[in-house]
Chains A and B, each alone.
Chain A
């Protein structure tokens, strides 16, 4: 989709960009990151030829961009800048339609685009289309800035630190919006930031630059696991720690030694066991100690007087995981299912333990503070 081949830029003896080559696939969100002056913004601006390389070639869909007319090229590449740059003399609708107007699209078409795009970011047309940028908040302005970049549905959208001037709350919600827009529209995004958290959240692939060179180009997980240099490690900082539990499994997070009862046990025995242990459910196993399900005090109260054993009251609605499952997935399952605990099984479906929020929290605390 987008390919740099041995691109360099020097001003005199100073090398700004030093022989970089990379390729970004269609529909990917690529994030350029690195310390100030590393050449990330310069690299971005080469894509729409606001800056011309002194050597090397850049291809979009296999076509050399220097062979195309600059102005025409830019009309097919979305561009969002940090300072937002909405034209203060134009309304929201006029700002959104700047590029469609340059492309001489019909008035009806432009109007349709404005309606559609404003809807996409939940800004009602009637309320916002005819306002001027000075009447909007910073976050709303940058939303319009993004819509302006998307209006002519360019296949590539460039974003140069678009959220760094916004407050953290607004930044967060705009990041999510950009992520969902990018997935919905399946466009290729190239995003410059100096914020590693933003990069990790948004990127399909992170390109880390330093002194005009690419130090590492990798998906976020890979970069977290194998940072290519000490500098990247510094940039990742706190995220590396947060990422190291990736190797943890359900077994690390569970409470073992839980009591189980065979399905053949009588009702009364189970009730007294629950009272003794102060729990409201019991884990039921068969003769081979294989997991069968759970039985709850509520069910026993409701129908316990018509049955003698707990066998008919067994329910299988408690989620189960295996000891080797990824701890993060178990955590997500525990939260999303709303179940009070997860049952952890071994390869033979025997009960190893349970994961509760408490066991999860204490295991995490141990990871964090040792």
Chain B
């Protein structure tokens, strides 16, 4: 484990994060939308999800490793599922909190339920949804450290190697790029936020 291995590890870490966050985002968005169409269900679904969410990532990834073995899919699925939660919760919360006046106006104008969702509800919920994306991105960067636990590389390799050989330099070589990666990806999401949030709502978004 030397500094020459860093670019490779960083690349792996980035791949784990981006792929699982992308998958988790899509899944969370779709599930959040579905849940918001049936708010009665959320009383059951959300508590179950938050219990599941409290299972430490290290336990879940370990269990999945026992079941599936050391595959790329094991890491991606585990991280993807964890990345789903914040997006799902925020999508649901964002959609539920869209002011009733806009929905009534949209229906009264003759929008179908789908048009109402895509033209009015989702744009209005977008700041909250992207907030969820930001959370899941930053979390996933740190959870991706666990990939090395089942021998799949990433920045965690340095940290585990450093821990086992009592080499603080190695730990920092993994930890600092991971922290920087979280910061950079978080900033990218902020940039995205600024671009996709409808102009008329930016002031409101900034205040929130």
- Chain A residues engaging chain B, CB cutoff 8 angstroms: 48, 50, 71-76, 79, 81, 83-91, 98-99, 102, 132-134, 148, 158
- Bound complex: CA A55 to CA B197 (Å): 45
B109 near A: Cβ within 8 Å?
yes
Contact A79 B200 (CB under 8 A): no
B198: chain A residues within 8 A (beta carbon): 88-90
Q: Give 19 A-B pairs besides A87-B124, A134-B203 with Cβ atoms closer than 8 angstroms.
A: A48-B108, A75-B109, A79-B108, A81-B101, A81-B108, A83-B101, A84-B101, A85-B106, A87-B102, A87-B123, A88-B204, A89-B124, A89-B198, A90-B198, A90-B200, A98-B111, A133-B200, A134-B204, A158-B108
Contact A99 B110 (CB under 8 A): yes
CB within 8 Å of A: which B70-129 residues: 99, 101-102, 104-112, 115, 119-120, 123-124
Nearest opposing residue in chain B for A85, CB measure: B105
User: How near does chain B come to A33, taking the closest CB pair, in angstroms?
Assistant: 21
B66 near A: Cβ within 8 Å?
no
Contact B101 A85 (CB under 8 A): yes
In the complex, 16 of the A-B residue pairs with CB atoms within 8 angstroms, ordered by the A residue number, are A50-B107, A72-B110, A74-B108, A74-B110, A81-B108, A86-B105, A87-B106, A87-B119, A88-B124, A88-B201, A89-B124, A89-B198, A102-B110, A102-B111, A134-B200, A134-B204
B105: chain A residues within 8 A (beta carbon): 79, 81, 84-87
**Size category of the binding interface on chain B:** 20 to 34
- Bound complex: CA A81 to CA B151 (Å): 61
Contact B200 A88 (CB under 8 A): yes
User: How near does chain B come to A131, taking the closest CB pair, in angstroms?
Assistant: 9
- Bound complex: CA A48 to CA B106 (Å): 12
B195 near A: Cβ within 8 Å?
no
User: How near does chain A come to B52, taking the closest CB pair, in angstroms?
Assistant: 33
User: How near does chain A come to B86, taking the closest CB pair, in angstroms?
Assistant: 23
A133: chain B residues within 8 A (beta carbon): 200
B123: chain A residues within 8 A (beta carbon): 87, 89
A73: chain B residues within 8 A (beta carbon): 110
Best-surrounded residue of B99, B115, B199, B200 (most CB of chain A within 10 A): B200
Contact A71 B111 (CB under 8 A): yes
Contact A71 B112 (CB under 8 A): yes
- Bound complex: CA A158 to CA B201 (Å): 28
Contact A81 B203 (CB under 8 A): no
Best-surrounded residue of B110, B112, B115 (most CB of chain A within 10 A): B110
